[in-house]
Amino acid sequence: MGGKVFFSVSMSLDGYIAPESIEDLTGPRWMRLQQWQFPLRFLRENLKLGEGGEEGRDNDIARETFERTGASVMGKRMFDAGEHAWPEEAPFHTPVFVVTHEKREPWERPGGTTFHFVNDGIESALDQAREAAGDRDVRIAGGGATILAYVNAGLIDEFSIALSPVLFGTGIRLFEGVDAGRVALEPVNAEPSPRVTHLTYAVRAQ
């Protein structure tokens, strides 16, 4: 039996997970949102930034999220943003299935990441990711529209939010357009750290 389908994102206090413009993904608001991850030992290891970095619960959660993931799914917008920003050894180290209308041969990167381009919808991408992941979990990596599509289709089992003490004001909201009448949430865990609050929910049909 396969694992769970989940997503894990950082979110601002006013509900945003990304700026509207792809060009702003390296801007100051985005950097403040993700700031809790930058000092972590796991991040330094995964991005080959050298030794050092902080231990602690934030680091454990980042490592656990990575280790549970056997394959990832993402939308074209996230892939386009990351294609030129990720290092040559992309940080996934698993198969990644990109939901897109673009036809393209698989793109293999050093370190075990291969991007596969899926042209027949989110369910097909998830089926392929499940097969690739085996007994491990499938992560819906993003962006917001792709996560929302999986939530509204009833295909998410669980999700985690790192609630960051920043305000965006504008951008991409995590649950903008959610079919709230179909989705019930069950709290699993709430764990504060010095930088963020980690919230985990199981998803049930309503």
Number of domains in the chain: 1
**What angle, 0 to 180 degrees and rounded to 10, lies between the N-to-C axes of helices 144-152 and 76-83?**
150
Residue 191, pLDDT score:
96
Average pLDDT rounded to a whole number, residues 7-23: 92
Residue 29, pLDDT score:
84
* Cis, bond preceding 143 (omega within 30 deg of 0): yes
For residue 152, pLDDT beyond 60: yes
Q: What is the pLDDT of residues 60-115, one digit of tens each?
A: 999 999 999 999 999 999 999 888 888 899 999 999 999 999 999 999 999 999 99
Residue 92, pLDDT score:
95
Average pLDDT rounded to a whole number, residues 112-121: 97
Average pLDDT rounded to a whole number, residues 37-51: 86
Task: Give CA separation, 106 vs 42, 56, 137, in Å.
Answer: 27, 37, 21
For residue 1, pLDDT beyond 60: no
Q: What is the pLDDT of residues 57-75, one digit of tens each?
A: 999 999 999 999 999 999 9
CATH of the domain at 149: 3.40.430.10
Contact between residue 97 and residue 129 where contact means Cβ atoms under 8 Å apart: yes
Range of the domain at 72: 5-205
Residue 28, pLDDT score:
84
The residue type found at 139 is R
Average pLDDT rounded to a whole number, residues 136-141: 98
